[in-house]
Amino acid sequence: QVQLVESGGGLVQAGGSLRLSCAVSGRTFSTGAMGWFRQAPGKEREFVARIRWSIGSTDYADSVKGRFTISRDNAKNTIYLQMNDLKPEDTAVYYCAASRFIPATPQARSDRSYAYWGQGTQVTVSS
């Protein structure tokens, strides 16, 4: 059974950085796509970033462009989210998700395109 486990969350001051990791176990994902989503208190889950396993192409939400970088290590079946210049509005539980297929960019921004999800890791940014 596929299992996704996020790690790396924590408490940082505005302007600081964190690097999140998502380890995939149970099955090998050499194709398809991985995504990062987040959910803040009182808000719906929103798209953050997406990466394709094979070619490494990426897509980002406008709110994080230039600050966040998604990457992957295919050999380790792990994806990362490097978060720089963090802002209080970045505070949320961050989730990684996996899709066995490669959705088009608009669909890749929807959580309905991902069948597998991690448990989430808390990121808190103080002002």
* pLDDT tens, position by position, 38-59: 999 999 999 999 999 989 999 9
DSSP state for residue 65 in the 8-state scheme: T
CA dihedral sign of residues 77, 104, 115, 91: positive
Strands (E), the chain: 3-7, 10-13, 18-25, 33-39, 46-52, 58-60, 68-73, 78-83, 92-99, 116-117, 121-126
66-108 pLDDT, tens digit each: 999 999 998 899 999 999 999 999 999 999 999 988 888 899 9
Pull the structure tokens for residue 117.
């999800």
CA distance 54 to 103: 13
Distance CA 22, CA 6 (A): 4
